Chains A and B, each alone.
Chain A
Amino acid sequence: MEVSINKTEDKTLVKVNGRIDTTTAESFNEAIAPLMAPEAGAIEIDCSELDYTSSQGLRIFLMLQKAVSANKGSLVLTNMQAPVKEVFDITGFSSIIKII
């Protein structure tokens, strides 16, 4: 699991590679912790290389979403692979996190 964060003028571009599961969830949490700060602004997470997420991963996405909402920023997940998208759909996370 790898996370790269690029700040541009108007938004923060994040790319997540690999799997978020029991062993990598904590490091994923640490990697995206800066995005929960008030100055993060608009965040776009490219999920094209995200192969799998467990419920721990969902929980971290949820926490990020809550932080972003509290900071009046925005969060959008893009290019999600079908199996991952399915997890978001089944759990109803698609209704609280914007996925395009």
Chain B
Amino acid sequence: MNATRSLSTKLSLFILALTSVVFILTIGAAAISSHILITDEATKSLENLRDATIKDMEKTLQNIEFAVEASSWLVNENKDKEEYLYHITDRIVSENENIVGSAIAFCPGYFRKEHWFAPFSYVDESSAQVKSKQLGSEDYDYFDMEWYKIPAETGQPHWSEPYFDEGGGGYLMCTYSFPVYDENYGLYAVMTADITLKFIEDVLESIKPYEHSVVSLMTRNGNYLKTRTNVEKYGTSIFATLDSTSRAKNYNVNAVVEAIMSGKKGHMQYAADGHLCFAVYGPLSNGWLATIATDYKDVHERSSIMRNLLSIIGIFGLIIMFLISFFTIRKMTKPLTQISEAAEGIAGGNFNMALPEIDTDDEVRQLRDSFEMMQNSLQEYIDDLKTTTAANERFESELSIASKIQMSMLPKEFPNHDGIDLHAILKPAREVGGDLYDFFVRDNCLYFVIGDVSGKSVPAALIMSIARCAFRICSHYEQEPKYIVTGMNRSLCSRNDAQMFVTFFLGKLDLGTGLLKYCNAGHNPIIVNGRYLDVKPNLALGLISDFTYEQQEVQLDGGACITLYTDGITEAEREDKQQFGEDALLKCTAETGGLSAEKSNELIIDKLLAFTKGNVQNDDITIMTIKINK
């Protein structure tokens, strides 16, 4: 369950991370491009606005200039008619609402030899009536004033710097001056029209592209003709503004002032008091300079609104996407959890765990089907295994019983006879084997046999028991070894379709005389006193039914030691296939002098095991030792 949860979480987080990166990049790109786009558009629209403002302002100023210039010929015609001159100025002021004052300032001594003569009409502030008066006097020596002096010297029309004219209309104003010449091209007067900066302010105030925009107009010397704030008073200079801004937070301010003052059109970024600003600027035809300064914050408010909106939508989208992908993946991986639980159940031995039903045709379905197949195969396999195990267990228990039966055929009680000491050991290679030994004492004679059935295990064990029974039956009726062996051979030859055979040795020791009569049937010769006895092989039992077995005899003395064995001893192999061999066996028997028969057998078996070093026993092992007491 935890694994699946973490899988869906992991996958969802991975998708979320990936999508977030894409989203952030997209937002970033959109923000940058919209920023650029909005900046460009703002620049263009501000430039258009600047051009329109300049045009508008120029038109207004030209109307004023035209009003003055158009009246100049009237002055020329009536330059000696004092009353008419007043009429001219009065008309200029009353017919042009933007003109608050107008004067015809004659050159010294030109009008009726008067030093000062300047008819002047103006709008009286208190009555709002147009009034007239003569301007020039010792107190008001206009010849040194800019509005008179510069056009008089240059002979060109001139817009003055803003000034507060106390002798005039009492307004902070700007004056347009126009030099008037007589027929001899001699300057005789300067005509003027005054406008208040209040008027310019009203015009510029109506232009408001952005909330914090500042639209300003300056003379070519940098004096403000209009300013929006009250902090910067009428007539202050752009340079004064420059000094008042905190330099630490400024950037490009000197450059933008320089650019504005150059009298060319353009736009530029700058920072003032920590605000990133943007200025578009350009000159009017009369040399005045228009500037629209805008705080970037205003311009990009719109793009930041868009960016914020995109971010909010994106974040909501990401959250929804995360939830959807989390639950979808969890739903898709839910069968995995169930399969995993089923696997745990199967691991615990429950093969009937239910698997989830899956409607989709995908890898999970394939996994489920494969898992079901595995479940079924496991079930079958376990069933088979149970059957096989049961069969094996039955077989093993049967073999174990067979082993007990076979071992019980072999005499366990060794004869407690004064004349002899007899002991035998039989170790089958498997549970049951084909070796046999037997002995009994009858009529003061010891009958003893050893035999080895070809092959091993169950088939050999069956023949072994037949051979053992045949010996007991035949020896019951016959006394001579050769007859017993011949009888056994006939018995074993009949119905021996499997061609099994038995090598067999039978000895009959007269315990009174020490005479040993013996008959061999293809078995290994026996050892007497550490030497091989001369033994005719004859033929193993079970091969040829009418074979004639020959009997031999030897006289043994007290203290003689007889050793019988099967080839499981001499052919016992080490790991390197080296066999124990007859010589080693002879050597062992030579070392058993003085030992009891049992100890002798144990010594030989110990030596044999030391030789094979635990290598698997391939064949049944039997050893029998008989010691004739002195």
Contact = CB atoms under 8 A, between A and B. Distances in A.
B499 A92 contact: no
A56, A87, A90 — which one has the most chain B CB atoms within 10 A of its CB? A90
A54 B544 CA distance: 20
Contacts of B539: 91-93, 95-96
B215 interface: no
Nearest to B498: A59
Contacts of B454: 55-56, 58-59
A-B CB proximity, top 5 nearest: A92-B539, A91-B522, A55-B454, A92-B522, A92-B537
Contacts of A66: 499
B549 to A, nearest CB: 9
Contacts of A94: 537
A55 B501 CA distance: 9
Contacts of B538: 92
Contacts of A22: 456, 618-619
Interface string B445-465: 000000011111000000000
B563 interface: no
A90 B524 contact: yes
A21 B618 contact: yes
A63 interface: yes
A40 B577 CA distance: 34
A35 to B, nearest CB: 15
Nearest to B455: A56
Contacts of A91: 501, 503, 522-523, 537, 539-540
A59 B500 contact: yes
A30 interface: no
A90 to B, nearest CB: 5
Contacts of A58: 454, 501, 540
Given A55-B503, A56-B455, A59-B501, A92 B521 contact: yes
B136 interface: no
- Interface SS, A side: helix
A72 B522 CA distance: 26
B618 A63 contact: no
Nearest to B453: A55
Given A59-B500, A92-B522, A92-B537, 13 more contacts: A19-B577, A55-B452, A55-B503, A58-B454, A59-B454, A59-B455, A63-B499, A90-B522, A91-B540, A92-B540, A94-B537, A96-B539, A96-B543
Contacts of B544: 96
Given A55-B452, A90-B537, A62 B499 contact: yes
Contacts of A54: 571, 619
Given A62-B499, A66-B499, A90 B525 contact: yes
Nearest to B521: A92
A93 B499 contact: no
Contacts of B456: 22
Contacts of A39: none
A2 interface: no
B242 to A, nearest CB: 112
Interface size class of A (residues with CB under 8 A): 20 to 34
Interface in B358-387: none
Contacts of B540: 58, 91-93
B522 A93 contact: yes
Contact of A55 (B455, B525, B577): B455
A92 B619 CA distance: 21
B55 to A, nearest CB: 118
A87 B570 CA distance: 12
17 contacts: A55-B452, A55-B454, A55-B503, A55-B567, A58-B540, A59-B499, A59-B501, A90-B524, A90-B537, A91-B522, A91-B539, A91-B540, A92-B522, A92-B539, A92-B540, A93-B522, A94-B537
Contacts of B577: 19
Nearest to A63: B499
A40 to B, nearest CB: 18
B292 to A, nearest CB: 109
A63 B500 CA distance: 10
B133 to A, nearest CB: 149
A64 B582 CA distance: 29
Nearest to B499: A63
Contacts of A89: 537
A55 B566 CA distance: 11
B486 to A, nearest CB: 14
Nearest to B525: A90
Contacts of B455: 55-56, 59
Interface in B504-557: 521-525, 537-540, 543-544
Nearest to A25: B455
Contacts of A63: 499
A92 B543 CA distance: 10
Interface string A21-56: 110000000000000000000000000000000111
Contacts of B523: 90-91
Contact of B543 (A21, A62, A87, A90): A62
Interface string A1-21: 000000000000000000101
Nearest to A62: B499
Nearest to A66: B499
Nearest to B457: A22
